[in-house]
């Protein structure tokens, strides 16, 4: 994408008069809606660098992976923070580190244990990739995270962003790190009038991020940008008066902060209805493991399936358990309806307590990979999808 410099004021203490409302604009000054990222000139770049670094030094949050910047801790924190805010992920991070203090402990743990400690974060393939990569690092790199971009990129689950984050934060290597917070900051700071999801937008942001990165200060500067987006340049109601670089913000000068980033059209979520059975026998509950392929692979669940058009949830449950487990059931009562939204769909989960009509006939697995009869206390040891987790919390006295 072509880039142009925007003019700097002498002090960066106030916007140029020609950009204030009612003033005629010089054609070389920044205009709204031209679709271009305006790379700052050298003087403005130095000012942005200095003010951001000072602000980060004074305002950075006390986060556990910032104590020593160990590569393993940085890696886990960055994977957990993908599509999750810091305050949400912190309890998961602390629980993970208590159970898996080093890479070898992840590599040697049972998969169910790894998934259980990821439970609630979603995107379970990330946890599986962490374990796969931990095994490779343990076997091939003596348990040390490699300090090479190409090597990192060849490890399962480590893409360009995560590799750059590890090298920048853990090793202070001069690499830009562009997460959602940085994209939002740059879209306002440099007045990006195209949607962030456009390939040209990402290319332009990465080019400028690379250009304004102060040599030898990547760890602090990249985190300063991310912290600014998390604490000040927030998605809604940004705290512009508290921004250390507000004088350099083109969107602020043009009055376009509320219009940046340009909104991405929301995708409509599909809705499905599912019927599941909490199958009880002699004080124990039947659970099964999902197949290795497809949605939420290898997590444990209660048996059931989609409600077909024109079918009641009760009829769907009887049919699904007959088809999937080759059993006939008696429904004892409805536990409730659990509603949960995933990335691309919403689910209404109709949950029923039920029992086998013939206790001597054991379930035959037609789609699940494994099954167990467990007592209520043992259920907590198994990783379940989010909607099933909500159901587990509802069980209480709902079962006979």
Beta partners for 331? Answer: 354
Nearest to 278 by CA among 384, 151, 164: 384
Taking a C-beta distance cutoff of 8 angstroms, is the pair 73, 130 a contact?
Answer: no
Nearest to 337 by CA among 389, 400, 272, 274: 274
Between CA 253 and CA 31 the distance in angstroms is 10
Task: Give the chain's length.
Answer: 400
* Strand ranges, E, within the chain: 3-6, 37-40, 270-281, 284-289, 300-301, 304-306, 329-341, 345-356, 370-374
**How many beta carbons lie within 10 A of that of residue 140, not counting itself?**
11
Between CA 189 and CA 224 the distance in angstroms is 14
Q: Is 311 a catalytic residue?
A: no
Catalytic one among 73, 78, 301, 320? 78
Taking a C-beta distance cutoff of 8 angstroms, is the pair 366, 357 a contact?
Answer: no
Q: Which residues are catalytic?
A: 78
């Amino acid at each position: 994408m072509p880039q142009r410099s925007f003019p700097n004021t002498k002090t960066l203490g106030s916007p140029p008069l020609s950009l204030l409302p009612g003033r005629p604009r010089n054609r070389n000054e920044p205009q709204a809606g031209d679709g271009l990222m305006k790379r700052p000139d050298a003087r403005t770049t130095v000012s942005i660098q200095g003010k951001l670094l000072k602000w980060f030094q004074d305002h950075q949050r006390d986060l556990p992976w910032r104590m020593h910047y160990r590569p393993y801790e940085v890696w886990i924190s960055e994977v957990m923070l993908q599509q999750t805010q810091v305050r949400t992920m912190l309890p998961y991070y602390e629980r993970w580190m208590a159970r898996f203090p080093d890479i070898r402990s992840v590599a040697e743990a049972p998969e169910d244990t790894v998934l259980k400690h990821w439970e609630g974060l979603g995107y379970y393939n990330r946890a599986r990739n962490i374990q796969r990569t931990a095994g490779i690092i343990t076997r091939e790199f003596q348990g040390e995270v490699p300090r090479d971009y190409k090597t990192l990129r060849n490890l399962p689950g480590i893409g360009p962003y995560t590799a750059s984050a590890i090298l920048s934060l853990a090793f202070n290597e001069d690499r830009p790190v562009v997460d959602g917070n940085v994209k939002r900051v740059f879209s306002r700071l440099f007045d990006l009038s195209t949607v962030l999801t456009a390939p040209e937008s990402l290319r332009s942001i990465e080019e400028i991020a690379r250009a304004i990165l102060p040599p030898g200060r990547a760890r602090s500067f990249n985190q300063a940008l991310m912290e600014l987006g998390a604490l000040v340049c927030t998605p809604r109601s940004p705290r512009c008066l508290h921004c250390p670089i507000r004088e350099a913000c083109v969107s602020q000068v043009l009055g376009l902060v509320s219009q940046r980033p340009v909104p991405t059209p929301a995708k409509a979520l599909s809705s499905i209805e599912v019927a599941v059975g909490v199958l009880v026998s002699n004080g124990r509950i039947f659970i099964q493991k999902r197949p290795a392929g497809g949605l939420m692979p290898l997590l444990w669940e209660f048996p059931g399936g989609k409600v077909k058009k024109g079918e009641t949830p009760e009829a769907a449950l009887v049919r699904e358990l007959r088809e999937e487990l080759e059993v006939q059931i008696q429904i004892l009562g409805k536990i409730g309806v659990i509603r949960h939204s995933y990335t691309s769909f919403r689910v209404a989960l109709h949950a029923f307590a039920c029992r086998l009509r013939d206790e001597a006939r054991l379930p035959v697995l037609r789609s699940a990979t494994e099954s167990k009869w467990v007592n209520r206390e043992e259920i907590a040891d198994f990783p379940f999808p989010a909607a099933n987790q909500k159901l587990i919390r509802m069980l209480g006295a709902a079962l006979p």
